[in-house]
C-alpha cells in the first residue's frame, strides 16, 4: 500500500491506515517513537503509557538525544 505525503503546517505528514492503527492499538494523543534505520527504512513504536517528562506538556516537546533503543 502506498501513502501520499501531505503538508501539515510547515511539516510533512503521512496518514496511518485504519488497519495499522487498529493492529498497533494507536489512539489519538499517543506518542510514537520514529527511527530511521541504516537501510533507510522507518521503524515506528508506540510508547505507552505517556512518558512522565512529556505528560501534561504542549503538543511540541523538544526531544532529548535518545539512548539506543532495543526494538
Determine the pLDDT at residue 61.
45
d(CA 39, CA 54): 30
Inter-CA distances, 23 with 49, 61, 62, Å? 17, 27, 29
Q: In which residue are the cell numbers 515506528 written? A: 44
Q: Is the pTM of this model over 0.85?
A: no
Q: Does position 55 have pLDDT exceeding 70, yes or no?
A: no
Amino acid at each position: 500500500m502506498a501513502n501520499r505525503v501531505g503538508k501539515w503546517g510547515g511539516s510533512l505528514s503521512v496518514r496511518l491506515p485504519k488497519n495499522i492503527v487498529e493492529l498497533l492499538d494507536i489512539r489519538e494523543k499517543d506518542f510514537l517513537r520514529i527511527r530511521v534505520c541504516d537501510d533507510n527504512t522507518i521503524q515506528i513504536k508506540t510508547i505507552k503509557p505517556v512518558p512522565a517528562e512529556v505528560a501534561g506538556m504542549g503538543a511540541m516537546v523538544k526531544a532529548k538525544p535518545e539512548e539506543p533503543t532495543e526494538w
